[in-house]
Amino acid sequence: MKNIYIAIPLVCLFASIVAGLFGKVIGRKGAHTITIAGVAIAFLLSLIVYSDVRDGNTFNGSLYTWAITGTVPLQIGFLIDQLSATMMIIVTFVSLMVHIYTIGYMASDPGYQRFFCYISLFTFAMLMLVMSNNFLQLFFGWEAVGLVSYLLIGFWYDRETAIFANMKAFLVNRVSDFGFLLGIAAVLYLFGSLDYAAVFASAEGIQHATVMSPFGEWNWLTVTCILLFIGAMGKSAQVPLHVWLPDSMEGPTPISALIHAATMVTAGIFMVARMSPLFELSETALSTVLVIGSTTAIFMALVGLVQNDIKRVVAYSTLSQLGYMTVALGVSAYEVAIFHLGTHAFFKALLFLGAGSVIIAMHHEQDMRKMGGLRTIMPITYLTAIIGSLALAGIPPFAGFFSKDAIIEAVHHSDIWGAKYAYISVLLGVFVTAFYSFRLLFMTFHGSNRSDEHTRKHLHESPNVVTFPLLALAVPSILAGFMFFEPVLNGNFFGDSIFILPAHDVVNQLAAEYEGTSGIGMIFSAIGHGVQTPPFWLALAGVIFAWYCYCKNLALPGKIKNAFRPIYIIIDKKYGFDELYQSLFSQGSLLVGRFLHKYADAGLIDGALVNGTASSVNRISGVLRKVQTGFTYHYAFAMIIGLFALITFFVWF
């Protein structure tokens, strides 16, 4: 089995290297054939691994010693359990679909081979991240996916907006990595190891260790968990480190689906779930996670309401949904968070690829105000977009319903600090989510077409390589919810890979509500229960309201906008984060840099000290030169005086 584990990431790496280095030799066809074959193999092998793990064969072992520092061995290795096997399936499946889709989407792009090289490299890095059995490799994968994200956002490197966005993405992620790396250093300091198993095993032992800080006594574990979570906040785009994700839409749409919706941005969620044995021991850290997550969930959803760029709507929706997952982590419902991560990966990739399909048809027009009426022209894209939107809005029995309902119910059951705020946020979020997702659907596919003559004439359904992935992703967007609802809730889906203290176990309480039912019965009772609770009605209200605003009474949105102008402006400005960061951090550090360069380095050190020394040497030597007269008796006199001075020195001391 170990050889299979090794083969899964390496086959992607190999394909990536071939496509990257020999892209010219093997041509376009060669590049997509080898990378798709690589990812397909990785997907099939992941299925084998998954079923093997289901049979109870987990694995934890190292591949090679990266370094031994002092007495601490730092190793590269794999931990294959229910959690990582699930992630492997999600990653390789979505990646495979995106690979196929790319054939159509990038068909006329000169950087075709390079694109395939990057997305295969991404798949490799993401697999290394989820399969890791230690913090070092986690950080490796973490940064490597960040690198590929950087390269892909800036894929069209002659666009000024794209290369600004990719630098911004990298730097914002670096801010979070700053916390993450310190978190890892804290782990090594506390546990003397970076190996998951060793760290988790001794977590309880240091539960009460504290550190003195200028702000009082802090619990070490809380500090460590919050540092690690800062890492997650960057990668999973949580407020206030979310600013890079909307801009990342500058990249080609396939990678928005793969990296900035389905996989990379969920790395933070995965990481916290993986660290459940640490986070469980610190309620402060969990509350922090919860509050950040619920803030992201509701406030980013609100921004989604006012966007007109089709990709940006989906991007803000992704931010909000990541907030939902983070909320689930905060109430210790880790398995539900991963459940939503999975369903979201499918339906959000579907929505992004659907948006991409629309964008191809519209000749790279992304403004929804210029779309409309596409449902008859693009029936497959339309159908799959409906499925995606229903899943996102959380309408039963689509996948999103089960995972989102489980999150909301889990928050409802939790009594951790911040749970009330979170509950209100996620409830309101349901309405907003349903509204913006159907706003997108109605604006794009319904009504009359608002594009120009030329575009309208050339409108057509996308080719099969584009629609096949849409259909293939629609299947799990429908099924993944009720297929996995019961095992996730009963706690046997993730087995021992997630650790929850009994006092925090809201999922268990949730499952207890459906007691006596199992399998299909549980699903029906979940739907039955779902339709009796507020989330369902809120979602329905959102859909209907969107229909009313964008199909029936088209003037209403404008009226609402004018009535609530100040609020609209705040939301439209995205709460001003970008402007604040731009002026405070970017301009600020440049200002400080210029000041230091001019006054400290060039002024004080060079000007006053170095060149000052040189010029004073000049001056002093000018004086000294007068001593050297060239007359022998002057020198002799000086020598005698010197001799006397030396003798005096030796006699006296």
Partner 1 sequence: MNPLDLENGLLSLLIWLPVIAGILILAVGSDQKATMVRGLSLGFSILVFLLSIPLYTLFDSSTAAMQFVEKASWIKAFNINYHLGVDGISMPLILLTTLITVIVIISGWQVITQRVAQYMAAFLIMEGIMIGVFASLDAILFYVFWESMLIPMFIIIGIWGGPNRIYATIKFFLYTLLGSLLMLVALLYLYNVSGNSFSILDFHQIKLGMNVQIMLFLAFFAAFAVKVPMFPVHTWLPDAHVEAPTGGSVILAAIMLKMGGYGFIRFNMPITPDASHELAWLMITLSLIAVVYIALIALVQQDMKKLIAYSSISHMGFVTLGLFIFNPQGVEGAMMQMISHGFISGALFLCVGVLYDRLHSRMIQTYGGIASTMPVFAGFMVLFAMANSGLPGTSGFVGEFLVILGAFQANPWFAIIASLTLIFGAAYTLWMIKRVIYGKVVNRDVLSLSDVNPREIIMLSILAAMVLIVGIWPNPILEVMHTSIENLLQHIAISKLP
Quick one: tokens of 420? 């009330």
Gap between the Cα atoms of 235 and 325, Å rounded: 13
* Closer of 64 and 631 to partner 1 (Cβ): 64
Span between the terminal Cα atoms of the chain, in Å: 82
Pattern of binders to partner 1 over 124-163, x per CB under 8 A?
A: ---------------xx-xxx--x---x--x--xx-x--x
The correct pick among 3, 55, 56, 64 for binding partner 1 (CB under 8 A) is 64
Gap between the Cα atoms of 516 and 270, Å rounded: 31
Q: Which stretch binds partner 1 (CB under 8 A): 184-192, 402-410, 492-500, 504-512?
A: 184-192
Minimum CB separation of residue 594 from partner 1 in Å reads 5
Q: Which stretch binds partner 1 (CB under 8 A): 44-52, 168-176, 269-277, 306-314?
A: 168-176
Type and span of the H or E element at 188: helix 160-191
User: What residues from 200 to 229 belong to the interface with partner 1 (CB under 8 A)?
Assistant: 211
- Work out whether 589 is an interface residue with partner 1 (CB under 8 A): yes
The correct pick among 5, 170, 482, 494 for binding partner 1 (CB under 8 A) is 170
* Closer of 44 and 596 to partner 1 (Cβ): 596
The correct pick among 205, 521, 528, 593 for binding partner 1 (CB under 8 A) is 593
- Work out whether 47 is an interface residue with partner 1 (CB under 8 A): no
Q: Which stretch binds partner 1 (CB under 8 A): 452-460, 487-495, 512-520, 587-595?
A: 587-595
- Work out whether 68 is an interface residue with partner 1 (CB under 8 A): yes
- Work out whether 597 is an interface residue with partner 1 (CB under 8 A): yes
* Closer of 144 and 386 to partner 1 (Cβ): 144
The helix-helix angle for 565-572 and 556-563 (nearest 10°) equals 100
Q: Which stretch binds partner 1 (CB under 8 A): 303-311, 460-468, 507-515, 591-599?
A: 591-599
As beta bridge partners, residue 78 has 61, 132
The correct pick among 7, 167, 383, 483 for binding partner 1 (CB under 8 A) is 167
Gap between the Cα atoms of 295 and 301, Å rounded: 10
- Work out whether 6 is an interface residue with partner 1 (CB under 8 A): no
Gap between the Cα atoms of 350 and 344, Å rounded: 9
Q: Which stretch binds partner 1 (CB under 8 A): 85-93, 177-185, 272-280, 428-436?
A: 177-185
Residue type, 309: D
Cβ–Cβ under 8 Å, residues 374 and 384: no
Residue 67's alpha-carbon distances to 79, 134, 142, 443, 506, in angstroms, are 19, 13, 19, 56, 41
The correct pick among 10, 13, 26, 188 for binding partner 1 (CB under 8 A) is 188
The correct pick among 609, 620, 640, 647 for binding partner 1 (CB under 8 A) is 609
* DSSP structure class, residue 397: T
Q: Which stretch binds partner 1 (CB under 8 A): 244-252, 260-268, 307-315, 594-602?
A: 594-602
* Closer of 230 and 322 to partner 1 (Cβ): 230
- Work out whether 66 is an interface residue with partner 1 (CB under 8 A): yes
Quick one: tokens of 562? 């004018």
Gap between the Cα atoms of 331 and 491, Å rounded: 15
Cα Dmax for the chain: 118
The correct pick among 185, 206, 478, 483 for binding partner 1 (CB under 8 A) is 185
Gap between the Cα atoms of 106 and 112, Å rounded: 6
- Work out whether 471 is an interface residue with partner 1 (CB under 8 A): no
Cα–chain-centroid distance for residue 65?
28
Type and span of the H or E element at 530: helix 520-530
Quick one: tokens of 384? 């799959």
As beta bridge partners, residue 210 has 219
- Work out whether 247 is an interface residue with partner 1 (CB under 8 A): no
The correct pick among 512, 605, 620, 638 for binding partner 1 (CB under 8 A) is 605
Gap between the Cα atoms of 228 and 131, Å rounded: 18
Gap between the Cα atoms of 484 and 519, Å rounded: 10
- Work out whether 70 is an interface residue with partner 1 (CB under 8 A): yes
Residue 254 neighbours by CB under 8 Å, 6+ apart: 98, 101, 102, 105, 106, 115, 119, 353, 356
Minimum CB separation of residue 624 from partner 1 in Å reads 17
Residue 608 neighbours by CB under 8 Å, 6+ apart: none
Nearest alpha-carbon partner for 32 in 119, 125, 92: 119
Gap between the Cα atoms of 348 and 257, Å rounded: 7
Cβ–Cβ under 8 Å, residues 385 and 508: no
Nearest alpha-carbon partner for 102 in 181, 36, 4: 36
- Work out whether 174 is an interface residue with partner 1 (CB under 8 A): yes
The correct pick among 31, 98, 131, 175 for binding partner 1 (CB under 8 A) is 175
- Work out whether 475 is an interface residue with partner 1 (CB under 8 A): no
CA angle 206/190/238 to nearest 5° reads 95
Counting Cα atoms < 13 Å in the Cβ hemisphere of 272 gives: 42
Cβ–Cβ under 8 Å, residues 546 and 434: yes
Minimum CB separation of residue 582 from partner 1 in Å reads 13
Minimum CB separation of residue 218 from partner 1 in Å reads 11
* Closer of 213 and 532 to partner 1 (Cβ): 213
Number of residues that bind partner 1 (CB under 8 A): 52
Q: Which stretch binds partner 1 (CB under 8 A): 174-182, 347-355, 421-429, 432-440?
A: 174-182
Strand extents, DSSP E, 331-447 = none
Minimum CB separation of residue 475 from partner 1 in Å reads 36
As beta bridge partners, residue 73 has 68
- Work out whether 72 is an interface residue with partner 1 (CB under 8 A): yes
- Work out whether 594 is an interface residue with partner 1 (CB under 8 A): yes
Minimum CB separation of residue 166 from partner 1 in Å reads 8
- Work out whether 191 is an interface residue with partner 1 (CB under 8 A): no
Minimum CB separation of residue 140 from partner 1 in Å reads 4
Q: Which stretch binds partner 1 (CB under 8 A): 318-326, 371-379, 451-459, 602-610?
A: 602-610
Contact residues: partner 1, CB under 8 A:
64-72, 139-140, 142-144, 147, 151, 154, 157-158, 160, 163-164, 167, 170-171, 174-175, 177-178, 181-182, 184-186, 188-189, 211, 589-590, 592-594, 596-597, 600-601, 605-606, 609-610, 613-614
